[in-house]
Chains A and B, each alone.
Chain A
Amino acid sequence: MVCSSILLFLYLVEIHLLSKEFSTVWCRPQPRAWSLSPGIESHIGLPAWSLLLPLPMSLPFSLFLLPKEDQDLSPIRNRPILQHTYLSCFSHYSARKLATDIISTVEFNHSGELLATGDKGGRVVIFQQEQENKIQSHSRGEYNVYSTFQSHEPEFDYLKSLEIEEKINKIRWLPQKNAAQFLLSTNDKTIKLWKISERDKRPEGYNLKEEDGRYRDPTTVTTLRVPVFRPMDLMVEASPRRIFANAHTYHINSISINSDYETYLSADDLRINLWHLEITDRSFNIVDIKPANMEELTEVITAAEFHPNSCNTFVYSSSKGTIRLCDMRASALCDRHSKLFEEPEDPSNRSFFSEIISSISDVKFSHSGRYMMTRDYLSVKIWDLNMENRPVETYQVHEYLRSKLCSLYENDCIFDKFECCWNGSDSVVMTGSYNNFFRMFDRNTKRDITLEASRENNKPRTVLKPRKVCASGKRKKDEISVDSLDFNKKILHTAWHPKENIIAVATTNNLYIFQDKVN
Chain B
Amino acid sequence: MHGLMDPLHPPHLYVLFHKYAYHAQQFEGTMFARGLKRKSAEDGEDVEGGLAGTQATPSYSLQRQSLLDMSLVKLQLCHMLVEPNLCRSVLIANTVRQIQEEMTQDGTWRVVAPQAAGRAPLDRLVSTEILCRSVREQEGEHPAPDGGGRMPGLVPGLSAVPSAQALRSPQSSLWEVDSSRENRGGFQKSLDQIFETLESKTPGSVEELFSDVDSSYYDLDAVLTGMVGSTQPGHGSGLQAFTSAATPPPGSSCRSDLGELDHAVEILVET
Interface residues of A (CB under 8 A from B): 160, 162-163, 250-251, 269-270, 294-300, 302, 319, 352-353, 355-356, 359, 403-407, 409-410, 412, 415
Contacts and interface: CB of A to CB of B under 8 A. Distances in A.
A298 B70 contact: no
B87 A300 contact: yes
A405 B63 CA distance: 13
Contact of B90 (A163, A251, A298): A298
A135 B30 CA distance: 57
Interface of B is mostly: helix
Nearest to B31: A406
A300 B86 contact: yes
Nearest to B66: A406
B91 A410 contact: no
Contacts, number: 70
Contacts of A405: 31
Contacts of A251: 83, 85-86
Contacts of A407: 27, 31
Contact of B83 (A162, A298, A352, A353): A162
A319 B27 contact: no
Contact of B91 (A250, A319, A404, A406): A319
A251 B97 CA distance: 24
Given A162-B83, A300-B86, A406 B27 contact: yes
Given A162-B82, A295-B1, A404 B31 contact: yes
Interface string B18-32: 000000100100111
User: Max chain A CB contacts within 10 Å: which of B64, B70, B87, B90?
Assistant: B87
B79 to A, nearest CB: 13
Interface in B74-105: 74, 82-83, 85-88, 90-91, 93-95, 97-99
A300 B90 contact: yes
Identify the interface centre among A270, A294, A352, A359: most chain B CB within 10 Å of its CB: A352
19 contacts: A250-B86, A251-B85, A270-B86, A294-B7, A294-B8, A295-B6, A300-B86, A300-B87, A300-B90, A352-B64, A352-B67, A352-B98, A355-B94, A356-B91, A356-B95, A403-B31, A406-B27, A410-B27, A415-B91
A355 B27 CA distance: 21
B212 to A, nearest CB: 27
Contacts of A296: 1
A355 B91 CA distance: 8
A299 B82 contact: no
B90 A297 contact: yes
Interface residues of B, number: 29
B149 interface: no
Contact of B95 (A162, A250, A353): A353
B203 to A, nearest CB: 36
B3 interface: yes
A406 B1 contact: no
Interface of B: 1, 3, 5-8, 24, 27, 30-32, 64, 67, 70, 74, 82-83, 85-88, 90-91, 93-95, 97-99
Contacts of A299: 90
Nearest to A188: B83
Contacts of B95: 352-353, 355-356
A507 to B, nearest CB: 22
A406 B27 CA distance: 8
Given A403-B31, A410-B24, A295 B3 contact: yes
Nearest to A157: B83
A114 to B, nearest CB: 31
Given A295-B1, A296-B1, A403-B31, A163 B91 contact: no
B3 to A, nearest CB: 5
Contacts of B32: 406
Contacts of A406: 27, 31-32, 67
A410 B70 contact: yes
A352 B95 CA distance: 6
Nearest to B88: A415
Contacts of A295: 1, 3, 5-6
B10 to A, nearest CB: 11
A195 B82 CA distance: 33
Contacts of A250: 86
Contacts of A409: 67, 70
Contacts of A415: 85, 87-88, 91
A191 to B, nearest CB: 18
B34 to A, nearest CB: 12
Contacts of B91: 319, 355-356, 359, 415
Contacts of A359: 87, 91
Contacts of A353: 95
Shortest beta-carbon contacts, A-B, top 8? A295-B6, A269-B86, A406-B31, A162-B83, A300-B87, A356-B91, A415-B88, A295-B3
Contacts of B82: 162-163
